[in-house]
A and B are shown apart, each in its own frame.
Chain A
Amino acid sequence: QVQLQESGPGLVKPSETLSLTCAVSGYSISSGYYWGWIRQPPGKGLEWIGSIYHSGSTYYNPSLKSRVTISVDTSKNQFSLKLSSVTAADTAVYYCARLIRGYYDILTGSYEDAYYFDYWGQGTLVTVSS
């Protein structure tokens, strides 16, 4: 069973950098798949932040791209998020998740494209405040 667990400071000061780590168990990141970060401000909806492949290839939400860095450490089986110059608007529950971008269909015998998040961490609340 794949499990993800977020960790990091629960309080960050404005203008500083938010740093979170997602530890993966039950699956080796180096075996494949994309991994991603999604956030949810209190009482609001979900927002995709960015995703990374086990090789280190990344793509980000254009609205956050200038402030976001996602990296992967296959030796520790974890990936990380850094969000710089934070403001109160960055206060949210941050989730890490596994992103499926394709799969082998046993029935058709072919590779099928797909885009969905199948395993999620429990989430961690990060508050931006002085």
Chain B
Amino acid sequence: QSALTQPRSVSGSPGQSVTISCTGTSSDVGGYNYVSWYQQHPGKAPKLMIYDVSKRPSGVPDRFSGSKSGNTASLTISGLQAEDEADYYCCSYAGSYHRFGGGTKLTVL
């Protein structure tokens, strides 16, 4: 089973918005509303940012939002801040299996 497809990198200036895509199949992203997103700073453990496609855990800024259309999920970060620079991973439930994306490096210019 291959990883979900994410762009290797995205970038944006402070205050701008960026969107990271996560493409799978009807067996994972398209088949379940159980996509989650994780932020990982260098040398740190991943941190949950979005679950169930678009729900935010308490403590996560509302600048982070998630959505899904067909087999592609998206994470949008609005009002970019320097501390948002990190790697981002999507993850989808796939029926007794959890598939992660390959990761996207977000650079804040």
Contact = CB atoms under 8 A, between A and B. Distances in A.
Given A45-B102, A113-B34, A116-B52, A61 B97 contact: yes
B64 interface: no
Interface in A51-101: 51, 59, 61-63, 95, 100
B99 A115 contact: no
A76 to B, nearest CB: 22
Interface in A100-130: 100, 112-118, 120-123
A116 B34 contact: yes
B103 interface: yes
A46 interface: yes
A47 interface: yes
Interface residues of B, number: 25
Contacts of A62: 1, 97
Contacts of B102: 45
Contacts of B97: 48, 59, 61-62
B48 interface: yes
Interface of B: 1, 3, 32, 34, 36, 38, 44-48, 51-52, 57, 89, 91, 93, 96-103
Interface of A: 36, 38, 44-48, 51, 59, 61-63, 95, 100, 112-118, 120-123
